[in-house]
Amino acid sequence: MKKPTPGKFIVFEGLDGAGTSTQMALLKNWLSQQDIFAEVTKEPSNGPAGVVIRQAIEERIVMTPTAIALAFACDRVDHLQNDANGVQKSLGQGSWVLCDRYVLSSLAYQSSEGMDLEWLKAINRFAFAPHVTIFVDTSIEVCVERINRRSSHNELFHHSDKLKTVRTQYQQLLDHSELTGHLVKVNGDGTEQEVFAELITQFQQWMEQSTAS
Ligand code: TYD
């Protein structure tokens, strides 16, 4: 399989229940059909700080919003930089990396918890911008329906009022290409295949532009 050097870093963002992991799996398959190897990963990661964060968001341990914001930033640095399986290492070896959630999640979710946006940017300053952000824009109603269908337990960020605030934060952040890289924004309310069709049309345009330049 082709491994262009260095690889591209593609990030998926959206509300809980938006369908980012489904779309990420579809993109991985599509890329492999184009002979491009892509690793898939996510944040919070499976690293040590990510494990603590999962316990906090499932409300099995209690952490303050400030501590959670710092833990997300810590997890991100480790996820990017660690020598065992860090994103930077994979990109350097020519792999493409697809990541479910990244800095924008911290800025949208933690600012909706009252954290100062500039402080959030400062603690995330080690995180470089992705080449592409794919924002799966799914309505609150559809997200809530999907969350209720799949989850048996309550999670910290799953309430519909909370999702409304997060959505507003996301909309403001999406205009900032220094954070998003190239932006692909798709309507997430359709079927998996409908959403993916819209996604891949825009993604291919970016691929053509980026190989031409
Ligand atoms: P999520 O992708 O929903 O994990 P799962 O599919 O296993 O439930 O992410 C977990 C939650 O963490 C989600 O509600 C978004 C939130 N989150 C933040 O608040 N800040 C961050 O920086 C990240 C990466 C996620």
CA angle (169 as vertex; 166, 173 as ends), nearest 5: 135
pLDDT at 125 over 80: yes
Distance 108 CA to ligand 1 centre (A): 11
pLDDT at 157 over 90: no
Centre a 10 Å sphere on the Cβ of residue 4 and count the other Cβ atoms it contains.
12
Distance 81 CA to ligand 1 centre (A): 20
Residue nearest to atom 20 of ligand 1 (CA): 106
Residues in contact with ligand 1 by the CB-under-6-Å rule are 16, 43-44, 57, 72, 100-101, 105-106, 109-110, 157
Q: Is the dihedral of CA 15, 16, 17, 19 positive or negative?
A: positive
Residue nearest to atom 21 of ligand 1 (CA): 106
Lowest mean pLDDT among 53-57, 132-136, 156-160, 191-195: 156-160
Residue nearest to atom 3 of ligand 1 (CA): 16
pTM for this entry: 0.95
pLDDT tens-place string over residues 77-107: 999 999 999 999 999 999 999 999 999 999 9
CATH superfamily of 9-212: P-loop containing nucleotide triphosphate hydrolases (3.40.50.300)
Q: What is the mean pLDDT of the segment spanning 157-163? A: 83
pLDDT of residue 153: 62
pLDDT of residue 212: 78
Single-letter amino acid, residue 96:
W
Residue nearest to atom 14 of ligand 1 (CA): 157
Output the average pLDDT for the chain.
94
Q: Give the model's confidence band at 211: pLDDT under 50 very low, under 70 low, under 90 confident, else very high.
A: confident
Atom of ligand 1 nearest to the CA of 110: 19
Residue nearest to atom 17 of ligand 1 (CA): 105
